[in-house]
């Protein structure tokens, strides 16, 4: 049931539209990385036709960014066709995270090169010895060779890395790699406990409470190094919170609350829809109802309000409200240029100012 405060916000979602749709496309993977449990999931891939119809619906709703997600997305043979379809109907940004190993399948890169809105983000966790220790022998060389090939074919690319005990001393090497490959923007996010295998050696990946200051200082040095090398760390805004997140499990919130549920819809492998990647609550299932009815329903509205009021569980990932963590003067200006912040201003004028007058 909606609270009285929520009733004042009944229009919260009407007139608004999602910026992006995330769809989980597979739980299959060609690797068995030590820090990951997702390759153990055994769910059926959603059918090709269902994915296309979801893209149509999301586009009609207003989404222009597509974030396919899952384990290794190129395990799907129809992946290039799905991406090409999204591009063709008008999605302007498509971000695919991959371990990079399957990209050299015959003819695949040529197909990907024709998809103008596509960005491929390859996971690299450290130099060869660290990456291969976590992911398997020879994985680093193959991933980097394919990153080079993406560049040679003019495909936009990036690197994603995870801050964890085995990698924290080697992240500057990722900056070096990006610089060498002429990759301007990379993403570095903290290790998520819910990504870990329950039976993994937690001490091998996580940090002790007495290491908080050490972690914070290492990340400060990393940011400084990246600036010197002119490599942008997309997740820079969240870095000052990473040490307490990793060491104490503290989930911070952007100063103005999280806007992710107002910008995105996340459809999991079973068709259940969530307001973000971190909240498991199901807002409806796309096999039973339309995306627009889920976008406008009370469950979504309540979760969106909770996120803005910092009453959700919180999280700290590359998919968190990274822009919302901007606090510098220049950054604030950039933040207000952001579509979500414009929406927030409209929201405050429409719903909160009248209450205060």
Strands 273-274 and 264-267 come out as antiparallel
86-94, 163-171, 313-321, 341-349 -> range binding ligand SF4 (CB under 6 A):
313-321
If the CB atoms of residues 98 and 117 are measured against ligand SF4, the closer one turns out to be 98
Q: Map tokens 């339309």 to a residue.
A: 290
If the CB atoms of residues 21 and 279 are measured against ligand SF4, the closer one turns out to be 279
Q: Which residues are registered as beta bridge partners of 332?
A: none
77-85, 146-154, 202-210, 309-317 -> range binding ligand SF4 (CB under 6 A):
309-317
Half-sphere exposure of residue 33: CA atoms within 13 angstroms, side-chain side: 25
d(CA 155, CA 80): 13
CB atoms within 10 A of CB 172: 17
Q: Which residues are registered as beta bridge partners of 188?
A: 161
Residue 158 C-beta: closest distance to ligand SF4, Å: 16
312 binds ligand SF4 (CB under 6 A): yes
- Per-residue x/- mask for ligand SF4, residues 91 to 110, rule CB under 6 A? --------x-----------
322 binds ligand SF4 (CB under 6 A): no
DSSP designation for 186: E
Subset of 265-284 contacting ligand SF4 (CB under 6 A): 276, 278-279
* Total residues interacting with ligand SF4, rule: CB under 6 A: 24
- Per-residue x/- mask for ligand SF4, residues 191 to 210, rule CB under 6 A? --------------------
Q: What is the DSSP string of 320-331?
A: S-TGGG--SHHH
If the CB atoms of residues 86 and 279 are measured against ligand SF4, the closer one turns out to be 279
Distance (Å) of CA 157 to CA 57, 96, 122, 184, 322: 27, 9, 8, 9, 19
Q: Are residues 54 and 267 in contact, defined by beta-carbon separation less than 8 angstroms?
A: yes
315 binds ligand SF4 (CB under 6 A): yes
Class of residue 275 by CB neighbours under 10 A (exposed 0-12, middle 13-18, buried 19+) = buried
Among 16, 24, 26, 71, binds ligand SF4 (CB under 6 A): 71
Listed in sequence order, the DSSP H helices in 2-47 are 4-7
- Per-residue x/- mask for ligand SF4, residues 231 to 270, rule CB under 6 A? ---------------------------x-xx---------
Among 8, 17, 38, 127, binds ligand SF4 (CB under 6 A): 38
Torsion of CA 197, 248, 317, 324, to 10 degrees: 160
321 binds ligand SF4 (CB under 6 A): yes
Q: How far is CA 133 from the centre of its chain?
A: 24
- Per-residue x/- mask for ligand SF4, residues 39 to 68, rule CB under 6 A? x-----------------------------
If the CB atoms of residues 62 and 136 are measured against ligand SF4, the closer one turns out to be 136
If the CB atoms of residues 64 and 300 are measured against ligand SF4, the closer one turns out to be 300
Q: CB under 8 Å to 333, separation ≥6 — which residues?
A: none
Among 160, 163, 178, 307, binds ligand SF4 (CB under 6 A): 307
Q: Are residues 183 and 144 in contact, defined by beta-carbon separation less than 8 angstroms?
A: no
Q: Which residues are registered as beta bridge partners of 159?
A: 122, 186
Residue ranges that bind ligand SF4, judged by CB under 6 A: 29, 31-33, 36, 38-39, 71-72, 99, 135, 258, 260-261, 276, 278-279, 307, 312-315, 320-321
């Amino acid at each position: 049931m909606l609270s009285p405060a929520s009733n004042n916000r009944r229009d919260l979602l009407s007139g608004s539209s999602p910026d992006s749709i995330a769809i989980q496309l597979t739980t299959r993977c060609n690797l068995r990385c030590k820090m990951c449990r997702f390759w153990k999931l055994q769910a059926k891939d959603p059918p090709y036709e269902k994915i296309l119809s979801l893209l149509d619906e999301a586009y009609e709703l207003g989404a222009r960014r597509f974030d396919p997600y899952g384990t290794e997305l190129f395990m799907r043979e129809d992946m290039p066709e799905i991406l090409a379809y999204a591009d063709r109907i008008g999605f302007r940004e498509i971000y695919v995270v991959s371990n990079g190993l399957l990209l050299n399948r015959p003819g695949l890169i040529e197909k990907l090169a024709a998809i103008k809105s596509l960005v491929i983000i390859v996971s690299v966790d450290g130099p060869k010895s660290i990456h291969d220790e976590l992911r398997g022998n020879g994985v680093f060389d193959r991933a980097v060779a394919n990153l080079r090939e993406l560049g040679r074919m003019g495909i936009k690319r990036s690197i994603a890395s995870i801050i964890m005990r085995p990698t924290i001393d080697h992240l500057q090497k990722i900056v070096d790699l990006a610089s060498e490959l002429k990759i301007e923007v990379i993403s570095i996010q903290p290790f998520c406990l819910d990504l870990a295998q329950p039976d993994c050696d937690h001490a091998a990946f996580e940090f002790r409470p007495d290491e908080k200051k050490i972690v914070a200082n290492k990340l400060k040095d990393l940011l400084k190094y990246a600036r010197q090398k002119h490599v942008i760390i997309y997740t820079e805004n969240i870095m000052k919170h990473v040490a307490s997140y990793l060491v104490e499990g503290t989930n911070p919130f952007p100063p103005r609350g999280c806007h992710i549920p107002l910008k995105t819809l996340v459809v999991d492998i079973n068709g259940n829809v969530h307001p973000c990647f971190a909240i498991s609550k199901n807002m409806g299932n796309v096999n039973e109802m339309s995306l627009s009815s889920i976008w406008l329903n009370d469950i979504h509205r309540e979760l969106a309000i909770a996120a803005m009021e910092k009453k959700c569980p919180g999280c700290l990932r590359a998919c968190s409200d990274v822009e919302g963590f901007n606090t510098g003067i220049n950054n604030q200006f950039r933040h207000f240029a952001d579509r979500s912040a414009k929406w927030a201003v409209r929201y405050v004028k429409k719903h909160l100012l009248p209450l205060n007058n």
